[in-house]
Structure 1
Amino acid sequence: MAEVLFYANAIELSRDSKANVLSLGLGGGQLNGFLHHNFPKLNITVVELSAQMVRMARKWFNLQTDDHHRVIVDDGVRFVEKEAAKGAKYDALMVDACYANPREEITMCPVRIFLQEHIARSISQVISSRAPTYTERLHLGETIIDKTTAITVKGRDITYAKILLMQNYDPTIIR
């Protein structure tokens, strides 16, 4: 997922890069930790719904936070809506807020609420106007696309996909 930030020119591939990055969903914190360690001038904000997930990331994955890397326990939808209302802008947006159903071997990324048009509108409002069109679309990580839904809000395409869980599959960038 990190590579798309650089391929799309949302962030310059330089240790001295400065950009505001918003990540909805923490997981173990490895992606954000990688970005923070290798690009220390990035301003990274992670929003995670579960305080337990944050505790696990700190304990088991050595999650480190500081002035340039913060984790906020909040609902991602509510956070994006508040940021849009304030006029906040981010140069890159990553969504790792997923619902997994192991019995059906299906993961929905992002969770269904992000498919609603008013949420897509809020997301489009927090994406910096300097970001190229490519980065105004959500990258969903290592996926196989089963079904794709595209929402266009004010000329910005936001693409989501239903994905199947698979192992040893090469990353695909959703465009």
Structure 2
Amino acid sequence: LNLTAVDNDPVMKIIAEKWYEFKSTSMQRIIVDDGLRYIREANKRGERYDVLLIDVSYNEKRALMAPVEEFLADDEISEMNKILNKNGAVIVNIVTRHEDLDQADRV
């Protein structure tokens, strides 16, 4: 399994290494970067992926907690599509507050 994880918080890489014994290899790596920037740059480098797992959320209560709005922008979705292999898939973690479900459904 060839895996690239991207997180904008360097502490997450430290946690993975210290508590989950993560070791970077040629087949698995953690990149500390903005996820959307990484996707755009991956496209420029001609990289292709079988699956993108989008798991980004706000740190405050909102109707739609995850994903953050930037990942829902048409141009960003287009960029994601460009780095997918022919039969690739995008999986998005969606988190919404129950009392705001109707508002989140409209998103």
TM-score by length of 1: 0.51
Map Cα deviations across residues 107-144 of structure 1 (whole Å, 9 max, x no partner): 6222221121111110010111133xxx2x43316x56
Question: How many residue pairs end up in the alignment?
Answer: 102
Match of 1:110 in 2: 67
Match of 1:44 in 2: 3
TM-score by length of 2: 0.78
Q: State how far apart, in whole Å, the 2-side matches of 1:91 and 1:82 are.
A: 17
Match of 2:20 in 1: 61
Q: Is the 8 A contact 2:67 2:92 kept in 1?
A: no
Q: State how far apart, in whole Å, the 2-side matches of 1:57 and 1:78 are.
A: 22
Match of 1:7 in 2: none
RMSD: 2.4
Residue among 81, 84, 106 paired with 1:127: 84
Q: State how far apart, in whole Å, the 2-side matches of 1:83 and 1:96 are.
A: 18
State the identity as a percent.
Answer: 25
Q: State how far apart, in whole Å, the 2-side matches of 1:76 and 1:109 are.
A: 14
Q: State how far apart, in whole Å, the 2-side matches of 1:67 and 1:110 are.
A: 29
Query: Which ranges of structure 2 fall in alignment gaps of 5 or more residues?
Result: none
Q: Is the 8 A contact 1:47 1:72 kept in 2?
A: yes
Match of 1:4 in 2: none
